[in-house]
């Protein structure tokens, strides 16, 4: 169940972060509500994850996957360009998450 909480926390955080731009400094109500609800849900679910996954490992996965997904959404929604360095960085972040998830003895399997 800890992985369901973690994945859902990541999705909530990505939605909230992506809505930040559309909130226009919290001047647009719909995206602002999405930001507040998304971050609240993300941190609540992350706290449930921390019952069984060490904080350093959970946060590394949460932030790494979240960064990659936010960059991908920014590319699609806001036409943000991703150059070669960005793509290499994304690949390295994903590689780090995979190594932590599959090989770290700190992760419950």
What's the predicted TM-score (pTM) here?
0.86
HEC assignment per residue over 31-97 = HHHHHHHHHHHHHHHHHHHCCCCCHHHHHHHHHHHHHHHHHHHHHHHCCCCCCHHHHHHHHHHHHHH
Pull the structure tokens for residue 64.
Answer: 């790494």
37-92 pLDDT tens trace: 999 999 999 999 999 988 988 998 999 999 999 999 999 988 999 999 999 999 99
């Amino acid at each position: 169940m800890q992985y369901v909480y973690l994945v859902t926390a990541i999705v909530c955080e990505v939605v909230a972060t992506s809505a930040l731009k559309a909130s226009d400094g919290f001047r647009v109500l719909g995206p602002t509500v999405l930001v507040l609800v998304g971050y609240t849900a993300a941190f609540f679910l992350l706290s449930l994850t921390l019952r069984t996954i060490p904080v350093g490992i959970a946060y590394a996965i949460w932030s790494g996957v979240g960064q990659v997904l936010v960059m991908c959404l920014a590319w699609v929604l806001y036409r943000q360009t991703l150059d070669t360095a960005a793509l290499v960085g994304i690949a390295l972040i994903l590689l780090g998450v995979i190594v932590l998830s599959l090989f770290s003895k700190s992760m419950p399997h």
